[in-house]
Amino acid sequence: MAGLKIKYTKTERARQKKILKVSERMLPLFEAMEKSLMASVNSISERIEEIREQIEQNRLAARDWVAVMSDSWVDISNFISINKIISKPVDVAGVRVQQFESVDFELMPIGEETPLWVDDAIILMQNQLQLMAEIKCLQEQIVLLEEELLDVRARVKLFENRRIPNAKIAIRKIGQKLQDDERLTIATAKVVKTSKQKELSP
């Protein structure tokens, strides 16, 4: 409350009590949102690691004939390209994000002179590109969730460190001031009464 002026009135005390009541009701909600967002970020991060492991497993499983590809005149990228990444909007922990659905590929026709391993190479590349596209969508989800998490954490700190403590201090100080004013009023009334009684005494 340092630097803040307090109006020592019953109206202001009622206002501060309302602020305190609302703040104490809202704080648990934001704390729950914070936990939910953190859990979602952790879950998505774990999923990204799982996909990366799958990408590496695919790479290792195909390394024998990938070596053949590197020495070949055939460029696999000439046979496959990405038209677009398909996703749909979903809510994750109250945040609207894009969820990966699939990849729309454009495949070029394979000629008779093309080596037989090209078919397998195209399938591998499709799998790897789909996994990488899913990682990209998940990383974008994390960015949005972490932005929301920062905002929610700021709100939690606002309620914990400012609104609730400030309201409690204001209520206490206003209460003390009103009590002091009431005592002073009573004491003054007694003095006035005593003075009048003395004036009326013979």
Q: How confident is the model at residue 44 (pLDDT cuts 50, 70, 90)?
A: very high
Instruction: Determine the Cα–Cα distance for residues 146 and 13; give it in Å rounded to an integer.
Output: 38
Does residue 195 carry a pLDDT above 90?
A: no
Instruction: Determine the Cα–Cα distance for residues 79 and 72; give it in Å rounded to an integer.
Output: 14
Q: Which CATH number fits domain 10-188: 1.10.40.30, 1.10.287.3240, 1.10.10.10, 1.25.40.10?
A: 1.10.287.3240
- pLDDT tens string 67-84: 666 656 667 778 889 999
Q: CA of 63: how far to CAs of 66, 114, 121, 123, 128, in Å?
A: 5, 20, 11, 14, 14
Q: With pLDDT > 70 as the criterion, what percentage of the chain qualifies?
A: 86
Instruction: Determine the Cα–Cα distance for residues 178 and 172; give it in Å rounded to an integer.
Output: 10
β pairing state of 80-92 and 95-107:
antiparallel
